[in-house]
Amino acid sequence: MSVLPFEQPIAELTQRVRDLRALAHGDARYAAELRRLEDKVASLARELFRELSPWQRVQLSRHPRRPYFGDYLERIFDDFIELHGDRTFGDDAAIVAGLARYPRGPTGRPVMVIGHQKGRGTKEAVRRNFGMPNPEGYRKARRLMELADRFGRPVITFIDTPGAYPGLGAEERGQSEAIGQCLLVMSKLRVPVVACVVGEGGSGGALALGVANRVLALEHVWYSVISPEACASILWKDGTKGERAAEVLKPTAQMALELGVIDQIVEEPPGGAHQDWDAAARRLDSALREALASLEGLSEEELVDDRYRRFRSLGAVRA
């Protein structure tokens, strides 16, 4: 598994935990040693990750083994039915969307789930366009948001994109208009909307799925108007200075929470979400249930007003 330089100290211990967990399955003799090792890894990870720089958190958000939207989809939702196409141009594999039941189990209710999807391996990454949607992806998302609104289904989005695709074809097909329409439609939805930032959250490509009543973010993500590399290209004409730009931007979940851009940080498993997909999904599931519960009982008008007041308050200067 890929290991970032700063996480090297816990990589070996984490692998030992995995090996011991496999041995301990069905054999109580290993249980005490497993708990001791898990506590040691958790303690070391908390100490190591407490002082991560903004650039290191950006690197964690892009970790090649980090769980993607599809990985959360199969762990958190039941009965997912993918819906395709924007009814105008085509289907965009960088955005996956459809109907599902949430939460899992007999109490689940129908919801609309929409998320950016990256690919593992070169072939899949190219097919998913590295998680960078074209206009037809955002038009598909808008179409399904309107469908959810028509039938009273809550909308849950997963954000994980470096940004909308900036290619010539995307611009010719109206990239900015497609994103703008998503923002407009989301702002007027009469159903609960919860957004989850699970990896990268870049620019309007991310915000197109982020106009929500509640915005959750995993602990090691970035969420900003621009990526550190793009910022460096503008400020210093050198995209290799992304680390320097990250120190200035501070695009981390911690800063986003301080500014009110997100509502809650969801703690990741020791060492990051890529170390334990199941644990990361359980923690996000718990936060998602709480967020939806906080919106229960609100009328359609109150849901729209709640969303309006949330975004109008961003950037407000208080005396």
The structural domains of the chain, ordered by start, are: 8-51 (no CATH), 53-312 (3.90.226.10)
Q: For the whole prediction, is pTM greater than 0.85?
A: yes
- Looking at the chain, the number of H-run helices and the number of E-run strands are 14, 8
Q: What is the pLDDT of residue 41?
A: 76
Specify whether the CB–CB gap between 264 and 214 falls below 8 A.
yes
Alpha helices in 168-265 (DSSP H): 168-172, 175-188, 203-207, 228-236, 242-249, 253-259
List, for residues 280-317, the tens digit of each pLDDT value.
999 999 999 999 999 999 999 999 999 999 999 987 66
Helix axes 135-151, 175-188, angle to 10 degrees: 20
Q: Which two tokens stand for residue 225?
A: 């108007």
Confidence category of residue 1, pLDDT binned at 50, 70, 90: low
Confidence category of residue 246, pLDDT binned at 50, 70, 90: very high
List, for residues 59-116, the tens digit of each pLDDT value.
999 999 999 999 999 999 999 999 999 999 999 999 999 999 999 989 899 999 999 9
Longest dimension (CA), the chain: 64
DSSP secondary structure letter of residue 30: G
Q: Mean of the per-residue pLDDT values for the chain?
A: 92
Whether pLDDT at 175 is above 70: yes
Q: CB within 8 A of 7, min separation 6: which ones?
A: 48, 60, 271, 272
Specify whether the CB–CB gap between 232 and 249 falls below 8 A.
no
